[in-house]
Structure 1
Amino acid sequence: MSRALDGRTALVTGASRGIGRAVAERLAAEGALVAVGYARDEAAAREVVDAIAGAGGRAFPVRAELGVPGDVETLFDALDEALGPDAPLHILVNNAGISVHAPIEDVTPEIYDRGFAVNTRAPFFVTRRALPRIPDGGRIVTVTSGVTRISFPEAIAYAMTKGALETFTLALAKHLGPRGITVNNVAPGIVDTDANAGWLRGDPGAWEASARRSALGRVGVPRDVAGVVAFLASDDAGWVTGVTVDATGGGDL
């Protein structure tokens, strides 16, 4: 049986763990050849690649720390080495990001700049560099956050980085519409990942409180988000562009 993404190549940034790993595994299960982007943890990225191969899929790692000088060049040099400089990139998933968990009083210029460098500047210029390689009818999906809809003063700078991405997507969807390239966001809520483990599992009441914020009564898991990304990457989503799909489980309804 053919799969939804057979014959397509996808790049997923921040794919060595959490939501990014789940997205990489889901896209590979749908038939895509997946470039597993990672910053430092080569062993984790190899684990993802091996898991995909073990399930019958295809993947390879590409290393580039985003948010530092030369990051885009490093990423695409690795991609070119693996695929060749003329190989098409049908799907781009901008997932890599860092947490900026602090109220405004605790956000220093250094924290602020680092958050925007990784969460906003990097996906902007990764996308810009990828555009010549994305064929007509391609897909761009960016992982933002439910904090662009739900007031979250404890992470005000983080929310700003993700809000900027949603504006970016809105404008880019219009710009790329004539080429049939769709551009969308997926906004997760509270998800049980390594990045959230410290506060989510460290405080006995945090898990229960987080589950209560969802209309579905539970904390999200990475595959919840991966399924939405896979839909937006598929042909079935060809008439969906310029939108943010809320994947918070009905957070704070």
Structure 2
Amino acid sequence: MKTAHLLKTNNIVAGYDKKIIIDGINMTIPINKISVIIGANACGKSTLLKTLSRLIQPVSGEIVLGEKKLTDIPPKQLARVLGLLPQSPVAPEGITVADLVGRGRFPYQSFFKGLGKKDYEAVEEALEIMGITNLANHSVDQLSGGQRQRVWIAMALAQQTDILLLDEPTTFLDISYQVEILDLLTDLNRNRGTTIVMVLHDINLSARYADYLFALRKGKLIAEGTPSDIITEELIKQVFDLDCQVIRDPVSDSPFIVPKGRHHVSC
């Protein structure tokens, strides 16, 4: 199991072009667990994830990784501990699967050296974990959506970080691929102890796969805890403006949301 690094925020405020998107969030990411950030569209989920990864600098507040402020950690050192898979990444035209996954080894390379033995071993392991070893020499352009998403996750795995942030890793995938990807991430978490933080749209998949949930509304953290502890009809109404009934998932025994009627969901 990896060395555990605690990731937490202290009253962070962040946004774009002087517009505040997330406002005063305090959160501590559970170590070696799967956490999912939930909330309606445009409520700040992706902004929060980008701020956690240092793609966005907070207007105020601070993020702490281990015993250091995120701003005090050199980029390559940070990239060895914390990895980010953004929403809908774009691969260079014509690149092969193995070459794209190999780019996850950037934090370990010097300017004058290419991939070494440890790098190739890390790439091979990532391909094997994601079940795409047979696709190593294929062009990423030729793959299905589900296969491409496996490749992107493999690239993040090759980075061999303690913490992995994923922004909607199942978006635009059929339900079978969604479950497949989430099962693979669960195996990664259980087998390697990787701390995983995801943004997911599907509340029932979030409740099924998450050890811990963070619920946002209009840029504020309004609830956190295990799915069984916080998923209630009142919370779903507050977060998604949706009237529902909460029952137990017959397969996972996690909370399962059954909408009572059609609603326009907005943040």
TM-score (norm 2): 0.32
Indicate the structure with greater helix content: 1
Tell which has more relative contact order, 1 or 2 (C-alpha 8 A, sep 6+).
2
Which structure has the greater CA radius of gyration? 2
TM-score (norm 1): 0.34
